[in-house]
Structure 1
């Protein structure tokens, strides 16, 4: 049985070429690539890479000034946050949601656009395994080169399941896959609604489309486009916020800093050919219009989903807080 790509770099003693994450007594992180004869310097002494080569993962090493460091192999989440990047990376909290909520499974054929710096690609490749396929499309050749280099560095070579194509998804996808031959599609781009025709043709019935967008306006537009297309289920959208906790003795509290909004995720599934999507059980509000149809007068509390209190209730509350009757 062959070892899965990159697995030999995730276990065993530290070896030449391994990337190691050093944590100092104050919790500061330093990432080094082990090279025989090389030294890691700070303003408080230095340590040799040779002192780590051959040591087990999770060891400690002391520098010339007596400062002790914990040495661990960086996790994938650590790796993507510290690797060279051209475009902004998909944060680990969002990559984990994409793999789970899009149901990326071993052996799946997954289409990804765009690639950015390759952070999400690594999670997708981990999920599909050696026998799956990740077909990544990126408009910018420089971003594609950075992504390939980052993934090659992480896996220790080219992953057999991955191909990266430079070009526009709308133009390139029909010639790259058969109709209905794709299990999952992940879109991380400015205008995913422009790709719905080719994505719909490529996805197998029941296949999942998940889009990662940065703003509420993009979220609204792609959700409306999914509904109007007629070949997708009702879209669902969410975001995830991660707040760490400070743990020290009795001082157990939320950290002052947190990973707040990074992007929205919206997901839908491909209907079987010829199937008409069922009507939504929740009817749109009175005067419902799409974001594209909206004019200046359409931006009312009712149309944006706010609960508008009745005049009777407002009068009652007013009387209760002011102690006076309604002058009208």
Structure 2
């Protein structure tokens, strides 16, 4: 069968991918050069001992990593390829690898609880965070989710992050600087309340995706609706079932969003040893609920639900919480100001000693 090209379509020119030594390689995305090549001074390296225990160090010439049985010289790792096995002074072999993003966010300095990698992956996929997307995030916390969002939008996208606490915002930015080797060009962090700051930061109808990781996302539905483009996605990350119920009902009452969808994810590892293949005794259980809705077109009403609510769902006992919520209300652990100041000093010190991404300068 003979096929004809479509005369009204512009056929893109196919080009060969740039090699590692071509001029185009100088335009590598922010942080890419730090993820490959031999270990350099300042790199974070994850050492795994024969029993599977992991230790993360930052390489410094002349320094040593000590355990109760001896030490490993940093100089033995500087210049070595990723995936090197280095011998401890006791004779044990340690595997040296660059930490993955999932490893980094669980070991980086933190001022607030982090979004776990299993939830960050769900957010990036289920919210359809694409390269070049314009994304709004609130709040930032320690920046764990921000790193995944920046990876997804790329240098050509835009991530507008809002955080009420200046110290949390500073810690998040420093963590990003350590991981990417530079200030990411797509990241803009604003210290302030989302409801007050968002209209002055972005144009109405210009945002593709919004991610809310906060105590009371229902307070932001109107300002988020104005910022989102029609069809844009709002995804909320909440800790408790009471928060999940309230944000779901608030999106329905608003009328400008599609029917909410909610779920949680649980990850269970498996023990692999010959024929002894079984689930591990520990697992990452409940960390939070995710809820997604999409913004409807202007002057469009949400389609009426065809299924009837469960009997008693909106009975006399249904009394939504109307007061301001606090972290203690949902069981979150709070950190003292003294601990936050210490974390901020630690992450600033790491950011100053971390290797720089030459392609971002």
- TM-score, with structure 1 as normaliser: 0.88
Q: Deviations over 1:247-292 (max 9, x none)?
A: 1111111000000000000000000000111111212134541798
1:8 pairs with 10, 33, 44, which one? Answer: 33
1:43 pairs with 56, 68, 74, which one? Answer: 68
Alignment of 1:72-91 (within 5 A): 72-91=97-116
Structure 2: gaps (5+ residues): 1-23, 321-361
Give the match for residue 165 of structure 1: 190
Give the match for residue 277 of structure 1: 302
Q: Deviations over 1:155-183 (max 9, x none)?
A: 00100000111000000001111110000
Following the alignment from structure 1 to structure 2, what is the Cα–Cα distance between the partners of residues 291 and 278? 26
Q: Deviations over 1:93-135 (max 9, x none)?
A: 0000000000000000000000000000000000000010000
Give the match for residue 59 of structure 2: 34
2:170 pairs with 135, 138, 145, which one? Answer: 145
Helix, strand or coil at the partner of 1:220 = helix
Give the match for residue 245 of structure 2: 220
1:234 pairs with 250, 259, 272, which one? Answer: 259
Following the alignment from structure 1 to structure 2, what is the Cα–Cα distance between the partners of residues 232 and 82? 37
**Maintained 8 Å contact 1:125/1:162:** yes
Q: Deviations over 1:173-203 (max 9, x none)?
A: 0111111000000000000000000000000
Say whether residues 1:264 and 2:289 are aligned partners.
Answer: yes
Q: Deviations over 1:215-240 (max 9, x none)?
A: 00000000000001000000000000
Following the alignment from structure 1 to structure 2, what is the Cα–Cα distance between the partners of residues 105 and 294? 39
Following the alignment from structure 1 to structure 2, what is the Cα–Cα distance between the partners of residues 9 and 25? 27
Measured on the aligned residues, the alpha-carbon RMSD in Å equals: 1.3
Say whether residues 1:245 and 2:270 are aligned partners.
Answer: yes
**Maintained 8 Å contact 1:39/1:49:** yes
Structure 1 residues 291 and 39, CA gap change in structure 2 (3 angstroms): farther
Give the match for residue 355 of structure 2: none
Give the match for residue 60 of structure 1: 85
Following the alignment from structure 1 to structure 2, what is the Cα–Cα distance between the partners of residues 289 and 46? 64
Structure 1 residues 177 and 34, CA gap change in structure 2 (3 angstroms): same
Helix, strand or coil at the partner of 1:195 = helix
Instruction: Please state how far the C-alpha of 1:67 moved relative to its aligned partner.
Output: 1.2
Higher relative contact order (CA 8 A, sep 6+): 2
* Number of residue pairs aligned between Structure 1 and Structure 2: 295
Give the match for residue 129 of structure 1: 154
Alignment of 1:101-116 (within 5 A): 101-116=126-141
Following the alignment from structure 1 to structure 2, what is the Cα–Cα distance between the partners of residues 243 and 19? 27
Structure 1: gaps (5+ residues): 296-328
Structure 1 residues 291 and 83, CA gap change in structure 2 (3 angstroms): farther
Following the alignment from structure 2 to structure 1, what is the Cα–Cα distance between the partners of residues 86 and 316? 58
